[in-house]
Amino acid sequence: MLARLESVADTFDFDALRAAEFARLDAQNIAYLDYTASALYGASQALGHADRLACGIFGNPHSEHVASRNSGAAMDAARAATLAFFDADPALYDVCFTANTTAAIKLVAESYRFGPRCGLILAADNHNSVNGAREYARRAGAPVAVLPLDEELRLDQAADRLCGIITAQGPGLLAFPSQSNFSGVRHDLALVDEAQGLGCDVMIDAASGGACGGLSLTRHAAEFVACSFYKLFGLPTGVGALVVKKAALARLDRPWFSGGTVAFVSVAQQRHALLPGHEGFEDGTPNFLDLAAVESGFAFLDRIPRAALRTRIAALTDYFLRRAANLKHVDGSPLVRLYGPQCFEERGGTVAFNLLWRDGVAVPYRHVELRARDHGVALRGGCFCNPGAAEKAFGFDRLDTARCLEMLEGGFGVAAFHACLGADATVGALRLSVGAPTSFADIDRALALIASYAV
């Protein structure tokens, strides 16, 4: 399978891409393996945006002069490119620009019509930006339910469990990621159609899906999709989007208004009216200078054939999984514990794992992070703001976590929590994630780092 994947990926020259656009990686001797946290921008993106700013004139878009209209045109182009990336029909979908994925999710959560028979259903595998929506549901007196994970960190019988939850508490909002930021699992998007057939709205966190995409809103027409542009193509940061069905946007009740969102406000009459569509949900002055870089960011991605990128990511990930699984201590005990699927089926280029001492106890992830930094290998450690997947992966259901959390509620710390659970408990993992610039040499450097723990 690996040979087949590599041969397909060879239809595009990824080495040439790296040399032309990401030469700084080799110049600075960095094996960057943290693409789930942020993609890297290409050199041509940075130079193009610098030239755009140096030569262009952009002003606050809420006006009719040339500088304002330039910003408005750039934002319109960014909206169109975003809809195209997600295969969303402009007649059915709109785009609300936000600061990031978190802000896009909050926009939905604070405005959704939660109630006693209109609750929230969360996947256990969610980023905390999604988990936080439960506080809005609770404030409205709405029930909150969770779809659990199986041993591979996939949703466990999600369709059947969803049907049972809706029978018990009524339909509402289902929220799950297209791809796990913890394990790399790609969840079955057929769940969108299942949920809608049961009367639910669906919100997808697409932040970790990466440049490979795979989310087509023509095939799986979720009501809400949240994303951050830097996760896709590195530049700009500080800009995200809510891709939303126009009909679903009209059903949201904003709890407030602000500059830029209103047709009128009367202080004397204590009345206001929101503008229609995205304008009623984009608070204040938009980040118009950075939004001017979005269209060219998508154009940069379009230079890389999507199929070739998928097979390249698959080959790199499979290469790491197979070799890491075979690393041993001198006595034959395993050096690596992998979480999630052990092959590339229905997964992306994100892998969570721990290194193990010879007695099977996990090496503290912070220890590995620091050694990796000193060796020029960029990995990430922790639970990656995904406590549900972490709890399942680390077996917290078998530990006295409730007592430890209650005891530490007034002053939580990872070290104290670990001490409470016991020295044998695992608290935090390492995460390796790959992108278009990643080379097999980068993976080899990570594997050599891991092998340095063998005793």
Detail the DSSP E strand segments found in 154-279: 172-177, 201-205, 224-228, 240-245, 262-266, 271-274
φ and ψ at residue 37, rounded to 5 degrees: -75, -40
**What would the two tokens of residue 437 be?**
């610039």
SS3 330: coil
Interatomic CA distance for residues 431 and 329, integer angstroms: 21
- 227 labelled catalytic: no
Angle between helical axes of 440-451 and 365-374 (0-180°, round to 10): 120
User: Reading across the β-sheet that carries 144-147, which strands appear in turn?
Assistant: 93-98, 240-245, 224-228, 201-205, 172-177, 119-123, 144-147
- Residue type for 13, please? D
The catalytically annotated residue of 55, 96, 118, 385 is: 385
Long-range contacts of 14-18 (CB under 8 A, 24+ apart): 14/312, 14/436, 14/437, 14/439, 15/439, 17/304, 17/436, 17/437, 18/437, 18/439
Which region holds residue 29: left if phi is over 0, alpha if psi is between -120 and 50, else beta?
Answer: left
DSSP H or E stretch at residue 338? strand 336-339
Angle between helical axes of 14-21 and 43-55 (0-180°, round to 10): 40
- Output the CA–CA distances (angstroms, integers) from residue 337 to 52, 252, 334, 357, in the order listed: 47, 44, 7, 11
Its sign, for the CA torsion 308, 313, 314, 316, is: positive
Contacts (Cβ under 8 Å, ≥6 apart) of 261? 254, 274, 275, 279, 280, 281, 282, 283
- Are the beta carbons of 70 and 57 closer than 8 angstroms? yes
- Give the active site residues: 385
